[in-house]
Amino acid sequence: MSPGSFSIGRITGIPVLVHWSVLFVAVLFGSSLAAHYGLIGAVVALAGFLASILAHEFSHAIVARRHGVNTISIQLWALGGVARLDREAPSPRAEGWIAAAGPIASLAIGTVAISSMFGLAAIEATDSATPLEVLGWLGVINLMLAVFNLLPGAPLDGGRILKAARWGRHGDRFRAAREAATAGKAVGGSIAGLGTVMLLNDRPGLILVVTGLFIAVSAQSETLAANLSERLQGTRVADLTWFGVAHAPIDTDADTMLWQRSRLGEAGVVALERPNGDLAGIVSEDQMLMVPESRRADVTLERLMVPMERITRADLDEELAAVLPRLDPQRPLVTVWSADQLIGVIPRAWLMDRLRRAAP
């Protein structure tokens, strides 16, 4: 789970996370909406807006799944939402459709909301103007969301579409990613510049400055990621795997495991097994050493473990670059599987060393 986020459940098996910044935006937007539509109207409008963002992100996830790409999680935060995919799209066509799915959903929601507003007004379905105004607001905000996301620069959806088009044109995925990122820096700089001009003229432009800077910084990160992935070409998961991971019962204490240090090997980790033989999680030597020596005999590895489902999983023959999108920066450990059996791990130190050598 990302720092500062909490889970609100799963939809179609995909974890949905909400960052604390959403609460700040809800208060900010809610106070303005309440002044126009009243408290109930504001709550309905905010709920509809968040549901719209979820629909946008789930559209990405649904189309990605059709192209063999799974979604690790969907997160809502201050500037919208993000669907975290477990790998790159397999082709330019898949990249383009996955990217386009979100704006298409937003356009559809906006069109339906505005059409419903006019339809209900025509038949005088309500005596109050508030429901119609809320529908109109949701329609306009979704149309604006679609248009904004179609701006041609990474990390926006329009940038992904641009990447797909350039990738299909010259056949170089990494070059296409850099081109989309360059466009993203230009888009972000332009938005931030417009916001700055507005501020200098005593007009509200702070949100544009923040948004523009975020886009520009994210675009630079995309450039670095593309360069790193290109330099990792040809490196397979198998090349960094430590085979023969140590196993231990889940109720083993930290003192006993450290006493049997040689079992951990250079990987410095142990896989914990439940009484029925199922794998429960992974514990690293560093985690055990963090327990005060006087308490290690009383601390079971179950209390220290990271559950297996929260650790990055890879197949033996995968390209290392394909694993990076689903790597958890807080737990840069990769478990390696074959025929649904754990056969090894990529130790954190080995992975970080390989990434450092690939960095420019």
Task: DSSP letter for 241, please.
Answer: P
Tokens found for residue 117 = 């507003």
Rounded CA-CA distance 17/10 in Å is 9
Contact 196, 205 (CB under 8 A): yes
Alpha-carbon dihedral angle through residues 201, 206, 209, 213, given to the nearest 10 degrees = 160
Could you list the beta-strand ranges (E) of the chain: 5-11, 14-19, 71-77, 80-85, 242-243, 246-249, 269-273, 279-284, 306-307, 312-315, 334-338, 341-346
Task: DSSP letter for 67, please.
Answer: T
Please give the C-alpha separations between residue 166 and each of 44, 97, 162, 212, in angstroms, as whole numbers.
41, 14, 6, 23
**Identified catalytic residue from 57, 95, 179, 222:** 57
Catalytic site includes residue 179:
no
Residues carrying an active site annotation? 57
